[in-house]
Amino acid sequence: MTVTLWEISDDVEEAIPKVFNTTRKTLDEDVKMLQRWMETQPHLPEIMDANSVRNFLVLNKCSIERTKVNIDLYYTARSKIPEFFENVNPKSTHMRKMMDTVYLITLPKLTKNMSRVTVFKVRDSALMGEFDHSSYHSNVIRLVENLKTLQELVGKEILPVDYGGEEKSLEELNNLMKLKYLEYEEWFDRQEARRVDESLRPAKLQNDDIFGFYGNFKKLDVD
At residue 204, the pLDDT reads 73
What backbone torsions phi and psi does residue 160 show, to the nearest 5 degrees?
A: -65, 160
Q: Where are the domains of the chain?
A: 10-82+195-200, 93-183
pLDDT band at 14 (very low <50, low <70, confident <90, very high): confident
**Closest listed residue to residue 50, CA positions, set 70, 30, 24, 23:** 30
Model confidence pLDDT, tens digit, residues 77-124: 888 887 777 777 888 888 888 888 889 898 998 888 888 888 888 886
Q: Report the sign of the C-alpha dihedral through residues 207, 211, 215, 218, in that order.
A: negative
Q: What percentage of residues in the chain have a pLDDT greater than 90?
A: 33
At residue 125, the pLDDT reads 65
pTM of the model: 0.70
Tell me the average pLDDT of the chain: 80
d(CA 19, CA 6): 21
At residue 41, the pLDDT reads 95
Choose between 103 and 135: higher pLDDT: 103
pLDDT band at 192 (very low <50, low <70, confident <90, very high): confident
**CB contact set of 41 (below 8 Å; sequence gap of 6+):** 72, 201, 202
Model confidence pLDDT, tens digit, residues 24-69: 999 999 999 999 999 999 999 999 999 999 999 999 999 999 999 9
Q: What percentage of residues in the chain have a pLDDT greater than 70?
A: 80
d(CA 72, CA 80): 12
Inter-axis angle of helices 10-19 and 24-39, to 10 degrees? 70
Q: Is the pLDDT of residue 216 over 50?
A: no
At residue 38, the pLDDT reads 96
**Closest listed residue to residue 34, CA positions, set 18, 19, 49, 15:** 49
The DSSP symbol for 59 reads: H
Q: Is the pLDDT of residue 153 over 90?
A: no
Beta-bridge partner residues of 120:
104
